Amino acid sequence: MSIHVLHAPNFTLSLRRAPRGATRSLRPTARGAVRSTAVRPVTAAPVVARPAAKAVPAVARRSPVHLTRRGRLVFVGLPVLLAVAVLLTVVGVFTTAPAAAEQGVRQVPSTPAVQVTVQPGQSLWQVAAAHAHGRDTRDVVAQIVSLNGLSGDRIDAGRKLYIPLGS
């Protein structure tokens, strides 16, 4: 049982929660305070028959949730937006994956070639001259650059190069 105390100027009212179905009566005391008397049970009122309520068809009933235009937009638009984002992500992954895989794959040369590893201190000219076999070294350097996709004449030690065989 809980006790609630209300304070007001020159007035204090102490209430105890009454059991369900019972009421309290209040009476003033000599100092002006109000005092609670004994709990009296409430007598039941006579039951009066009422006419039956009209049956409302289920179609005519309104739903308990009423959405505004903005609420409907959020309720419908947010899932649609998320579905489109997921769809674009999936499509993006599957369409860019083959392109990314092709970048990592080395193309096998269609011309007959030999694979050579560049030694420390060796230049592209020296590699071409060692494998020229009677051809012009400048032509062999140009073929090496185009065959291996080099951007310049600088090469690092340990790099593997395809050297075209004589043609």
Contact assessment for residue 147 and residue 109, using Cβ atoms and an 8 Å cutoff: yes
Q: Which residue has the higher pLDDT, 97 or 86?
A: 86
Q: The tokens of 118 are what? A: 């560049």
Listed range (32-46, 53-67, 89-103, 133-147) with the worst mean pLDDT: 32-46
HSE-CB for 157 with a 13 A CA cutoff: 4
Q: What is the pTM of this model?
A: 0.36
Instruction: Set out the domains of the chain in order of their start, with CATH numbers.
Output: 3-41 (no CATH), 113-164 (3.10.350.10)
CA pair distance 125, 153, nearest whole angstrom: 8
Rounded to an integer, the average pLDDT of 148-155 is 82
In 9-155, at which residue ranges do the beta strands (DSSP E only) sit? 11-16, 22-28, 34-41, 113-117
- Name 1's Cβ contacts closer than 8 Å, sequence gap at least 6: 16, 17
pLDDT in tens, 47-66: 666 666 666 565 666 667 78
